[in-house]
Amino acid sequence: MKVHPSQLQEGCIITKEVMAKTKKPIIPKHTVIQHVHLSVLQKFSIQQVEVGPRLSSGAPFIPTEQKPPGRKKDNLHESPSKETPFVQHYLECVKLYQEWFEQWHGGAAINMHEVRTFMVPLIEKAVHSKRELFLLHHYSTEETYTSHHSVATGLISAFLAAELGYSRGEWIQAGLAGLLSDSGMARIDSTITQKRGPLTEKEYEEVKKHAAYSYRLVENITSLGSQAKLGVLQHHERLDGTGYPLGLRKAKIHRFSQIIAVSDMYHAMTSARLYRKKQSPFKVLEEMKQEQFGRYDHEVIQAFIKEMTNYSTGTNVRLTTNQMAEIVFIENTNPTRPMVRLKESGQIISLKDRTDLHIEEVYEA
């Protein structure tokens, strides 16, 4: 008999293999349903399965009443409210992204309604939460990097788009594009994406396909605009033609892709990863400034650095030596290397003259 997964119970016997958008069945024929199988069916959004008339115990199987479409499932996530603190909302979305990623890995399509339900309110909070937004790299670990990176890239992209003068609708689109720009990584073999250590040339060539895979996942989503879709496809293109997947140059690259690229690079370099330690945010900003010519959009880079270093004198910072200091003067030409006064000794240091020192963290004044 054919039933909806919500009507199943443990002990049901599958009489026809259950397929998703995968090469192999997600549940083989003759499988005795257990709790883990119910979870798999839900993750892959399976709408119908075929089972035998009796349970594995020999008792007759009497399907329960199917839940109506509008009824909430027991484990449906509650959408965070406007009052939910930013960091709590962010962490909930990180957990959700991991679930979405597993679904995409199994061949499922992107549930854009669910993505928007949880992400749009968070994006709106992020655009007005600069200080918290640029501390997100602290929450990422080597094991959880992928989920944190995608959510954080989306939020930073939205913030940066807003700072560049885009409208509310446009910066929301930029944020969603940033979130989904690495969705195609779900179609890459996990032995590559979870590898500890540098990738081989062949493995890297495989990873480079993720931009095209991400585009395929979003190309038919009607609520995502063409500029957002281009941002997803082109977020690894570089102005000098050294990027991928198409090796485009300058005018052929959409501004959204550059916004995502800068956001992606910043969070990636400041986060702990399986094969690389995290770096100081201000050291990363300096590297970004040096790399901007010829590869990244000058205005995007400059806007990013301006917002990240827009601190007043009196702001407290921690240096890479773990010494606490206070900013006493900022040069417009060297915003990442201000003059600071060490808290303990009172000594004033010009970071412009101390290339061995970087600001590790920024605190409230």
Q: Give residue 203's pLDDT band: very low, low, confident or very high (50, 70, 90).
A: very high
Q: Give residue 95's pLDDT band: very low, low, confident or very high (50, 70, 90).
A: very high
Helix (H, G, I), strand (E, B) or coil at 228: helix
C-alpha 111/C-alpha 42 separation (Å) is 13
- Selection from 108, 128, 222 nearest residue 171 by Cα: 128
User: CA dist 285 to 185, 234, 264, Å?
Assistant: 26, 22, 13
pLDDT of residue 143: 83
Across the range 242-256, mean pLDDT stands at 95
How many Cβ atoms sit within 10 Å of the Cβ of residue 291? Answer: 13
Across the range 94-112, mean pLDDT stands at 93
C-alpha 97/C-alpha 148 separation (Å) is 8
> pLDDT at residue 131 above 90?
no
Q: What is the identity of the amino acid at 277?
A: K
- Selection from 96, 10, 109 nearest residue 57 by Cα: 10
- Selection from 313, 314, 304, 297 nearest residue 282 by Cα: 304
Query: CB–CB of 58/64 below 8 Å?
Result: no
pLDDT digit string, tens, across residues 281-309: 888 888 888 877 789 999 999 999 888 88
Residue 273 burial (CB < 10 Å; 0-12/13-18/19+)?
Answer: middle
Choose between 59 and 266: higher pLDDT: 266
- Selection from 285, 308, 288 nearest residue 358 by Cα: 285
Q: How does DSSP assign 62-94, residue by residue?
A: -PPPPPPTTSPPTTPPPPPPTTS-HHHHHHHHH
pLDDT digit string, tens, across residues 306-348: 888 887 788 888 898 999 999 999 888 888 899 999 999 999 9
pLDDT digit string, tens, across residues 135-168: 888 888 888 899 999 999 999 999 999 999 999 9
C-alpha 242/C-alpha 238 separation (Å) is 6
Q: Whole-number mean pLDDT of the chain?
A: 88
**CA distance between the termini of the chain:** 68
C-alpha 109/C-alpha 309 separation (Å) is 39
pTM over 0.85: no
Query: Which pair of structure tokens corresponds to residue 237?
Result: 């293109």
Query: Which pair of structure tokens corresponds to residue 70?
Result: 């509008």
Across the range 190-207, mean pLDDT stands at 91
